[in-house]
Amino acid sequence: MESDTTTPAGTAAPAPALPAAGREAAGSDHPVAPVFSVPAFLLVLVGVIVAGAGAPLVHAALAGRLALPPSLATGLAALLAGAVGAAFGAAAALVGRRLAFYEVTAAAILWTGTVALRVALLPTLRGSALGAEGLEQQGALVVVLGLLATGALAAMAVFIGATFTYLLAGTGRLDPSLSFELYVARSHLKLTPRTLLGLFLLCVTGVLPGLLFLLVRSLLDDLAERRAERRGLLHARRHVPATMLMTLISIGGVAIGVWALTVVLSVMSGFEADLKKKILGHNAHGMVMKYGQDDFTEWRQARQRVLAIRGVTGATPFLYNEVMVAAGERLTGALLKGIDPSTIGTVTDLPASVKEGKLAWLTDPAHIVAHPVRGEGQPPRGAEGDGVLPGIVIGREMAALLRVGVGDRVSVISPFGDLGPAGPQPKSRHFRVAAVFYSGMYEYDAKFAYLELGEAQRFFGSGDSVTGLELKVRDVDAARGVLARVQSELGGWPYRTKDWGELNRNLFSALQMEKLVMGVILAFIVLVASFIIVATLIMQVLEKTQEIAVLKSMGAGIPSIMKVFVAEGLIIGAVGTFFGLVLGLGTCLLVDQVGIPLDPEVYYIDNLPVLIEPAQFALVALMSVAIAFLATIYPATKAARLRPVDGLRSE
């Protein structure tokens, strides 16, 4: 027999000193559990593909068909796809009866391969259904990153599902109990309310004062030790065990990451909400227009029909043209809107944002008087001799630029005037400033000007026609759906509708992108904190090899040992997340109450805006705990795969 090859009797002696690397000779006739399960791999692959490819489709369906607001649609699509991926992962774990790590990795690599293939084929796919137009417009890099990120997230969902299921049912039967695992995990962490409170205070007071305090205490301790030594006394100094220190540092890391994420996202939400408020205050939530050159003369009937539609709370006609406004030597381009002063208030905040003069003077220009402060009691300049001029409302910035005030005369120049001998000639007409408005948005205050609708129609010679109707809806976020109803109610073509999101798409998508990028960058803090969790748990595993071996000798299975370390990591993650959420919420409330002044000339906001969105906090918490969970898996498998013999030998 093979094993009878001559071995000196002496070399067989030091069996207990065998290192773990000593490999067993082959010869056992029992089957070895497979390392790679093909059925599990197929399930995982389907999971990654369904989740990765399904998420954008679900998103498109939710945002398009059901007209849900984009952020809600994204969230729902991600949740749904994640759940489906996790379900496939769970199935894979049940089939393979192992962690599906290799299978998930293989599926992710396959996905990366298909992405590479698709990018290589992009030029030929352009225009076809497979081309993902939206992404393509933004360039190949975005396509690649988007696809890779989707794949990575899908693989993550599948992996989390598989791991979770393995932990719950890896023994072959459902075993959600944590009776002794939690017990052991808590003994490893040694977290007492006192240490947690100390850590929390350290986070609250800021790291610097806290460290200073610790330094001073350490200094005093050192002094006491020296003094005791000189007197020949024993001075027992309290030592914090290294693993416990690591635990506290990981909790602090997670807390700081979550803190930063929640605060920055809340501030960005605040900016977005503020901007939205200003844009929506000044603009309508949507508009109805007509295709082509058709005159929109039946707007009175259309307005009545639109007003009857559920969800629409206001409608007003407008006539829109681009013109130049001049006062003396000064000149500026302007967007001139003819409005109906009696109904404009049902759609925009224009009446409320008039700061000087009166909006009503648009229809009653004879009563325009100079603003008392500016005019200092004098009659309007240039009022004599001009007779009564029609009124115009301009923004504060335009007024400052043109150096005019209420009662002053401006001229409006339109490039499309009457037909002269040499084609169309510009036409110019004088108006008197009836009111100055201040919306808070520089763009609007510098560029918008308003005339009375009839006056505008006369000026532009458009008869009774208008450009369209501006609408206000009850629920801003449902504007898209309401406008779709409006369009079908009006009978579709030649009518078309646009909602505020479409009208300001660039701005809001830029804001969303900015928020996403900030979120990703700050999530890296949490990611780094998760590396500390990994290091902490590896230290724990190394320190507890003997304990793990003993637990195994008592019959603890692989899922049980894993649960111990997963529970440890989750406790670290959950406590850190909780600290971070509390700190984040506190900071937001503080900023909201006390206010951090901003230069209004630059930001048009005098205080740093903060919007506390519970969903955002929940999302950050979920992400942070999920990352902590993922961080535990490597150390936990490392612990569970320890051979009990090695742990028992280390005496």
Residue numbers at the binding site for another protein (CB under 8 A): 3, 5, 7, 9, 11-16, 18-19, 21-30, 33, 97, 170-172, 175, 177, 179-180, 183-184, 187-188, 190, 546-547, 549-560, 643-645, 648-649, 651
**Min separation Cβ 649 and another protein, Å:** 8
Token pair recorded at residue 75: 């969230």
The Cα–Cα gap between 456 and 337 comes to 8
Nearest-approach distance from CB 645 to another protein, in angstroms? 5
Closest distance between another protein and the C-beta of residue 236, in Å?
15
Nearest approach in angstroms of CB 31 to another protein is: 9
Give the pair of three-digit tokens for residue 424. Answer: 């169309």
CB of 277 to another protein, least distance (A): 56
Q: Measured between alpha carbons, how far apart are the two ends of the chain, in Å?
A: 35
Measured from the CB atom, the residue of 101 and 603 that comes closer to another protein is 101
Of 26 and 236, which has the nearer Cβ to another protein? 26
- Which residue, 16 or 491, is less far from another protein as judged by CB? 16
Cβ-based nearer residue to another protein, 172 or 415: 172
Cβ at position 2, least distance to another protein in Å: 9
**What is the residue type of 399?**
A
Cα–Cα dist 147/158, whole Å: 16
Neighbours of 442 (CB within 10 A): 15
* Contact (Cβ atoms closer than 8 angstroms) between residue 282 and residue 439: yes
If the CB atoms of residues 234 and 554 are measured against another protein, the closer one turns out to be 554
Cα separation, 181 vs 570, whole angstroms: 12
Backbone angles phi, psi at 318, to 5 degrees: -150, 155
Asked whether 198 and 128 are in contact (CB, 8 A), the reply is no
Output the smallest distance, CB 18 to another protein, in A.
Answer: 6
| Alpha helices, H only, 395-553 | 396-402, 442-447, 453-460, 479-489, 500-503, 505-543, 545-553
Q: Nearest approach, Cβ of 174 to another protein (angstroms)? A: 11
If one counts every other C-beta atom within 10 angstroms of the C-beta of residue 141, the result is: 9
Shortest separation between residue 598's beta carbon and another protein, angstroms? 53
Instruction: Give the residue with the Cβ less far from another protein, 49 or 541.
Output: 541
Report the nearest approach of another protein to the CB of residue 33 (Å): 7
Q: For another protein, which is the closer residue by CB, 188 or 515?
A: 188
Minimum distance from residue 186 beta carbon to another protein (Å) = 9
DSSP string, 609-641: -----HHHHHHHHHHHHHHHHHHHHHHHHHHHT
DSSP 8-state secondary structure symbol assigned to residue 366: G
Q: Are 381 and 370 in contact (CB under 8 A)?
A: yes
Alpha-carbon distance 239 to 220, whole Å?
Answer: 14
Instruction: Report the greatest alpha carbon distance in the chain.
Output: 127
Identify which of residues 4 and 329 has a Cβ nearer to another protein in the complex: 4
Q: How far is the CB of 15 from another protein (least distance, A)?
A: 5
Q: Which residue type is seen at 380?
A: P
For another protein, which is the closer residue by CB, 29 or 329? 29
What count of residues does the chain have?
651
Q: How far is the CB of 239 from another protein (least distance, A)?
A: 16
Which CB, 22 or 209, lies closer to another protein?
22
Q: What is the DSSP letter of 597?
A: B
Could you tell me if 318 and 337 are in contact, meaning their C-beta atoms sit under 8 angstroms apart? yes
Contact (CB, 8 A) for 451 and 339: yes
Q: Which of 481, 475, 499 is nearest to 66 (CA)?
A: 481
Q: Which two tokens stand for residue 384?
A: 């004599």
Burial (Cβ within 10 Å: 0-12, 13-18, ≥19) of residue 329? exposed
Q: Which runs of consecutive H residues, i.e. helices, occur in 423-495?
A: 442-447, 453-460, 479-489
3 state DSSP class of 341? coil
Q: Which is nearer to another protein, 630 or 642 (CB)?
A: 642
- Tokens 């075993």 belong to residue: 175
Choice between 7 and 293, CB closer to another protein: 7
Q: Which is nearer to another protein, 20 or 589 (CB)?
A: 20
State the minimum distance, in angstroms, from the CB of residue 4 to another protein: 9
Class of residue 45 by CB neighbours under 10 A (exposed 0-12, middle 13-18, buried 19+): buried
Q: Name 429's bridge partners.
A: 412
272 in Cβ contact with 615 (< 8 Å): no
